[in-house]
């Protein structure tokens, strides 16, 4: 048995999160409940609230609608036309009337009829459970009849006088003390069913949704003599809400809670995904940032040696067979003297202005890199020797024309070595040829461009 008990405790804990032992310890029970997932807590508390609502329905205050006393009440008293008697108002405003029966010939009765219509709309008595009546009665009658008149919408299409009459007997002693008549006690009299033989079977039961009037009847037959009746109170009584009405509300509440939980879950997931996307984007941006920093010269903003090597790798892949490429190696003339004479700040400014000028005078498809110190490299596609010399001369003139306002006497010139090569040639060999041409430009007096020798075609190593 101990093994079964342990197994039961384990299963209970796995399914609900509660420890059976905790049921005997209030503090431990609360602690266990707080450890249960939020979803389970919400379902548990919702079920508890629903059960509380169902149990509390019968204990809610009643809903009460007063019919009398009330202003603008439409009422009339009556006596059966075939009866030998009279009816008169003692005080019409207070619904106080008298009946005087002279003989019991015919169907003798007397009573009062109170209209429930409001702006040609009938009263929905089906929303209530009972009718409360209280009256002062000075009469030998021991019984009275409560009656209701209801309009039958469907039946009225075939019978213009389709007023359903329902009634219930009331003891006179109860009426004087105040009596509550349950609507379930009210029934259709046999004489109405026998008179309207063409009425559908469903109309042999009371229908209160279109009630037109309510009233009291004495007699049938009535005792001879005077009968004095004064109504004191009429009210319709019902529950604020019935269990039948509560169930759809609870169902709607549970459905709304479920949809809300799904929506909140969806929003939470979307937020989490957005945060993950943002984190991924941030990491990607950071990675791109550091990748760019690793390939960019921090001073001039152009490619550094690593960046040029990575760019040339793609550059070579895009080259067509025997496509001509020009490589320009540029060096600032007497740059050491600039640093020594003007300082490194001016030297840095010269490098930045030179890089910017070079970048502004080449195409977007060309590559510019700072190879190191004051040396720059430009790789240009689809350019032969003649075009390369024109480009080099343009760059040389633009650099020579730079104006440094901080020192008008400062003049910067560059020497350029040029070589052309194709997709099948090694970059290292092309660079060596361009560097040799640069060396020649230096020996020619600087501030000039020299076209180096052609490169013997070889299979490139950098792909």
pLDDT of residue 62: 85
- Residue 316 included in any domain: yes
Single out the residue of 265, 222, 8, 214 nearest to residue 95, CA to CA: 214
The CATH number of residue 359's host domain is 3.30.70.270
220 and 78 co-located in one domain: yes
Q: Is residue 25 part of a domain?
A: yes
Domain end, chosen from 44, 60, 76, is at: 60
8 Å CB contact between 129 and 160: no
The DSSP secondary structure of 243-311, one letter per residue, reads HHHHHHHHHHHHHHHHHHHHHHHHHHHHHHHHHHHHHHHHHHHHHHHHHHHHHB-TTT-SB-HHHHHHH
Encode burial over 297-310: b for 16+ CB neighbours within 10 A, e otherwise.
beebebbbeebbee
Q: Which of 390, 398, 362 is nearest to 377 (CA)?
A: 362
Same domain flag for 207 and 153: yes
Closest CA to 431 of 358, 328, 315: 328
In DSSP notation, 171-220 reads EHHHHHH-EEEEGGG-B--HHHHHH-TTS-GGGGS---TTEEEEEEEEES
Indicate whether 267 belongs to any domain. Answer: no
Within-domain flag for 261: no
The helix/strand count (H/E) of the chain reads as 11, 16
- Quick one: pLDDT at residue 24? 47
The tens place of each residue's pLDDT in the chain, 463 residues long, gives 455 455 555 555 554 554 545 444 555 555 555 565 677 777 778 888 888 888 877 778 888 999 999 888 899 998 887 667 889 999 999 999 999 988 766 677 899 999 998 888 999 999 999 999 999 999 999 999 999 999 987 776 666 678 899 999 999 999 999 999 999 999 999 888 888 877 788 888 999 999 999 999 997 778 888 999 999 999 999 988 877 778 888 898 889 988 988 898 899 899 999 999 998 888 888 877 777 778 899 999 999 988 888 888 777 777 776 677 889 999 999 999 988 888 888 899 999 999 999 999 999 889 999 998 999 999 988 888 888 899 999 999 999 998 877 777 788 999 999 998 877 778 888 899 999 999 999 999 999 999 987 554 343 333 3
CA 308, CA 379: separation in Å to the nearest integer? 9
Cα distances (Å, whole numbers) of residue 75 to 89, 116, 235, 265: 11, 9, 15, 61
The tally of domains found in the chain comes to: 3
End-to-end CA distance of the chain: 77
Q: Specify whether 80 is located in the same domain as 25.
A: no
Residue 257 belongs to a domain: no
Residues 80 and 206 occupy one common structural domain: yes
Do residue 70 and residue 210 come from a single domain? Answer: yes
Cα distance between residue 99 and residue 104, in whole Å: 13
Q: Which residues pair with 180 in a beta bridge?
A: 132
Same domain assignment for residues 188 and 94: yes
Residues 185 and 72 in one domain: yes
Do 151 and 83 sit in the same domain of this protein? yes
Based on the fold, state whether residues 211 and 312 are members of the same structural domain: no
- Residue 246 belongs to some domain of the structure: no
Among candidate residues 60, 86, 102, the one where a domain is terminated: 60
Give residue 96's pLDDT.
Answer: 96
- Residues contacting residue 124 through CB under 8 Å, at least 6 positions apart: 208, 209, 210, 211
CA 211/CA 271 separation, integer angstroms: 57
What pLDDT was estimated at residue 456? Answer: 42
Residue 338 lies in a domain: yes
Tell me: do 88 and 234 sit in the same domain. Answer: yes
| CATH number for position 145 | 2.60.120.260
In a shared domain, residues 42 and 130: no
Structural domain of residue 152, as residue ranges? 65-240
- Regarding whether 215 and 74 lie in a shared domain, the answer is yes
Structural domain contains residue 263: no
Q: Indicate the residue among 196, 222, 240 that finishes a domain.
A: 240
């Amino acid at each position: 048995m101990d093994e079964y008990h342990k197994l039961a405790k384990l299963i209970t804990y796995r399914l609900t999160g509660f420890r059976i032992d905790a049921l005997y310890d209030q503090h431990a029970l609360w602690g266990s409940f707080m450890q249960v997932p939020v979803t389970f807590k919400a379902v548990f508390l919702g079920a508890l609230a629903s059960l509380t609502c169902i149990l509390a329905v019968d204990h809610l205050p009643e809903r009460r609608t007063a019919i009398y006393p009330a202003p603008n009440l439409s009422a009339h008293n009556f006596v059966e036309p075939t009866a030998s008697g009279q009816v008169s108002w003692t005080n019409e405003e207070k619904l106080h009337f008298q009946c005087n029966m002279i003989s019991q010939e015919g169907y003798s009765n007397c009573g009062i009829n109170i209209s429930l219509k409001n702006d040609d709309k009938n009263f929905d008595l089906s929303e209530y459970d009972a009718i409360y009546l209280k009256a002062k009665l000075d009469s030998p009658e021991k019984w009275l009849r409560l009656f209701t008149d209801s309009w039958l919408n469907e039946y009225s299409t075939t019978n213009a006088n389709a007023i359903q009459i329902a009634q219930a007997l009331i003891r006179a002693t109860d009426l004087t003390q105040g009596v509550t008549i349950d609507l379930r006690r009210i029934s259709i009299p046999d004489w109405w069913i026998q008179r309207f033989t063409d009425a559908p079977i469903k109309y042999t039961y009371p229908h209160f949704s279109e009630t037109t009037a309510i009233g009291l009847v004495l007699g049938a037959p009535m005792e001879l003599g005077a009968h004095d009746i004064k109504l004191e109170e009429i009210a319709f009584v019902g529950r604020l809400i019935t269990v039948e009405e509560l169930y759809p509300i609870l169902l709607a509440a549970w459905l709304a809670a479920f949809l809300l939980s799904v929506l909140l879950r969806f929003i939470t997931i979307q937020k989490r995904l957005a945060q993950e996307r943002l984190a991924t984007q941030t990491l990607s941006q950071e990675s791109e940032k550091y990748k760019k920093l690793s390939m960019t010269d921090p001073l001039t903003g152009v490619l550094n040696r690593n960046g040029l090597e990575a760019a040339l790798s793609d550059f070579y892949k895009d080259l067509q067979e025997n496509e001509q490429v020009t490589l320009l190696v540029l060096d600032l003339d007497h740059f050491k003297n600039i640093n020594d004479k003007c300082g490194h700040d001016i030297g840095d400014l010269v490098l930045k202005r030179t890089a910017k000028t070079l970048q502004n005078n080449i195409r977007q498809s060309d590559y510019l890199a700072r190879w190191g110190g004051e040396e720059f490299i430009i790789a240009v596609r689809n350019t032969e020797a003649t075009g390369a010399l024109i480009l080099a001369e343009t760059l040389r003139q633009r650099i020579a024309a730079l104006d440094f306002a901080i020192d008008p006497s400062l003049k910067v010139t560059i020497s350029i070595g040029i070589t052309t090569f194709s997709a099948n040639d090694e970059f290292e060999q092309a660079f060596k040829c361009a560097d040799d041409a640069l060396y020649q430009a230096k020996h020619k007096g600087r501030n000039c461009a020299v076209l180096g020798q052609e490169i013997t075609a070889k299979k490139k190593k950098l792909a």
